[in-house]
Amino acid sequence: MNDRSSLLTHLECAKCHHIVDAFSLVNLCPVCAKPLLARYDLKKAAAAIDHRNLSDRPQSVWRFPELLPVRNPLCRMYLGEGGTPLIPATQLGASVGHEHLFIKEEGLNPTGSFKARGLGVAVSCALERGAKALSIPSAGNAAGAMSAYAARAGLKAHVFMPKDVPESFVVECQVLGAEVTLVDGLINDAGKAAANHPDAANRFDVSTLKEPYRIEGKKTMGYEIAEQFNWELPDVLIYPTGGGTGLIGMWKAFDEMEEMGWISTKRPRMVSVQASGCAPIVRAFQSGLGEAKLWENASTDAGGLRVPGAIGDFLILDALYQSHGTALTVEDHEMKEGARRMGLAEGVFVSPEGAATFVAFEKLFQSGWILPEETVVLFNTGSGHKYYNLWAD
């Protein structure tokens, strides 16, 4: 029996490289208030894991516990997260004249979105490090995922969501036992409400990239993509970007895999898709900036993309520039049409965020930025089920 314990060594600030003790329960860098990232003993990991022989490991987020920050196996909260299929989108691709299109189907995760990956790991970490209660500001899917894992871990869950969030998201959190506060404003206002709550000091805040653990769950998408393509990464990844955890996480996974010798130096071009009503990353990318300014009056039906300011902006932009990727916007009505085309062609009921990746793909293919022989992966980050009001009209 292998001893598959965590090889986490420390946490490191993504900006000033300050080092923090591996198993402390922390939010941001205590020196510069930027995100902290988990670092592992990758030499040991390379020696301990035979990436060509993984048949005795689970198909889940917990496939490589050596490369995740939870030491105690009893603290690894499992509800079925990860191990999602890579679906060849042959008919969808053919409808635009492209033959190498795939959908990473994240809508199959617990609570219907890839937020389950990040929050499964973050809640597990919080439990292991002694938290008793958690809080989260969310546009919807993160709140549901946090509520589910908090319930499983026996922790109190407090969620803060914009008051115009679709009712299905509120109901989900309530049935999972969370205390729900609806806030007048957007997700950043919900974040302030969570931080200013009188009990905030007794609750560990699991906001996107304001703690180092969610990204570790999301990075597992990068490991899965590599394995699903037999350790040779595809040419282009198209990702619907809100806070950017998935994109930053996958880029981190590629760094780790390259260092362990699992993949070559070949990387996909990373594409950020945002809604035309909330596109801070696209605007910064088009101006060649290293950081993004807050987007005023953000508005889009794709809740996961309604993030006017991302604390990990510089990490998203770094990955886009380094990978020779790009960033572009799509309209809400294009997402709705895209969802219907994806549904009809492939039988996948996608979220508007997931549909945005197909709309972006079509634009990039028609403009010649994506070539016919290039392999492309679209991330359907969530299921369409919780967005009923959107599909009605």
Ligand X SMILES: *Cc1c(COP(=O)(O)O)cnc(C)c1O
Centre a 10 Å sphere on the Cβ of residue 157 and count the other Cβ atoms it contains: 25
Is residue 304 near ligand X by the rule CB under 6 A?
A: yes
Is residue 188 near ligand X by the rule CB under 6 A?
A: no
Give me 286's structure tokens: 């088009």
Is residue 241 near ligand X by the rule CB under 6 A?
A: yes
d(CA 391, CA 351): 10
At how many degrees (to 10) do helices 167-175 and 141-153 cross? 0
CA distances from 362 to 235, 286, 320, 356 (A): 15, 19, 19, 10
Is residue 162 near ligand X by the rule CB under 6 A?
A: no
- For residues 232 and 291, which CB has a smaller minimum distance to ligand X in the complex? 291
Q: Which of 60, 124, 135, 141 binds ligand X (CB under 6 A)?
A: 141
Q: Which of 111, 245, 323, 329 binds ligand X (CB under 6 A)?
A: 245
d(CA 62, CA 77): 10
Nearest to 233 by CA among 377, 47, 364: 377
User: Which residue is nearest to ligand X, using beta carbons?
Assistant: 304
Closest approach of ligand X to the CB of residue 243, in Å: 3
- For residues 7 and 244, which CB has a smaller minimum distance to ligand X in the complex? 244
Per-residue binder mask for ligand X (CB under 6 A), 89-118, x = binder: ------------------------x-x---
- For residues 375 and 383, which CB has a smaller minimum distance to ligand X in the complex? 383
- For residues 234 and 244, which CB has a smaller minimum distance to ligand X in the complex? 244
Looking at the DSSP assignment, which residues form a beta bridge with residue 330? Answer: 275
Residue pair 258/266 in contact (Cβ under 8 Å)? The answer is: no
Closest approach of ligand X to the CB of residue 245, in Å: 4
Q: Kindly indicate which of the ranges 234-242, 263-271, 288-296, 335-343 contains the residues binding ligand X, using the contact rule CB under 6 A.
A: 234-242
Closest approach of ligand X to the CB of residue 35, in Å: 13
Return the exposure string of 322-358: e unless at least 16 CB atoms fall within 10 Å of the residue's CB, then b. Answer: ebebbbbbbebebbbebbebbbebbebbbbbbbbbbb
d(CA 253, CA 259): 10
Q: Which of 381, 384, 387, 390 binds ligand X (CB under 6 A)?
A: 381
Count interface residues toward ligand X (CB under 6 A): 17
Q: Kindly indicate which of the ranges 163-171, 237-245, 320-328, 370-378 contains the residues binding ligand X, using the contact rule CB under 6 A.
A: 237-245
Site for ligand X in 248-287 (CB under 6 A): none
Q: Kindly indicate which of the ranges 223-231, 238-246, 254-262, 329-337 contains the residues binding ligand X, using the contact rule CB under 6 A.
A: 238-246
Q: Kindly indicate which of the ranges 25-33, 182-190, 240-248, 360-368 contains the residues binding ligand X, using the contact rule CB under 6 A.
A: 240-248
d(CA 173, CA 189): 19
Closest approach of ligand X to the CB of residue 240, in Å: 4
Closest approach of ligand X to the CB of residue 148, in Å: 14
Residue pair 149/176 in contact (Cβ under 8 Å)? The answer is: no
Residue 352 phi, psi (nearest 5): -60, -35
* Contact partners, residue 237, CB within 8 Å, separation at least 6: 225, 250, 268, 269, 270, 271, 376, 377, 379
Is residue 246 near ligand X by the rule CB under 6 A?
A: yes
- For residues 66 and 216, which CB has a smaller minimum distance to ligand X in the complex? 216
* Interface with ligand X (CB under 6 A): 113, 115, 141-142, 208, 240-246, 304, 351, 353, 381-382
